[in-house]
Amino acid sequence: WDITQSPPVSLHTLTGHTGDVMSLAVAGDRVYSGSVDRTVRVWDVTQSPPLLHTWTGHTGSVLALAVA
C-alpha cells in the first residue's frame, strides 16, 4: 500500500490462494500468507512473478504464522 495517497493505493496484488487468507507475516521483502486452502505461500515482492514457494501438507486452515 502507498499510504501517502488519499485514499491509500494498492501497489501489489498477490494471487494464488484458493481460499480466504487468514494469516500474514512479513520479513523484509518476503511475505508469508496462510489460508483456509491449507497452504502457506511465500512471496518476494521485489520479484516478478512474486510467488517463491507453496507449502502444502497442513491438515487444516493455516490460522497463524510467525517468522524470525
Confidence of residue 13 (pLDDT cuts 50, 70, 90): confident
Could you tell me how many residues make up the chain?
68
Residue 1 has pLDDT above 90, yes or no: no
Is the pTM higher than 0.75? The answer reads yes
DSSP letter, residue 9: B
C-alpha 46/C-alpha 59 separation (Å) is 31
- Mean pLDDT computed over 11-29: 94
From the number of C-beta atoms within 10 Å of its C-beta (0-12, 13-18, 19+), residue 34 rates as: buried
C-alpha 39/C-alpha 18 separation (Å) is 9
Residue 32 has pLDDT above 90, yes or no: yes
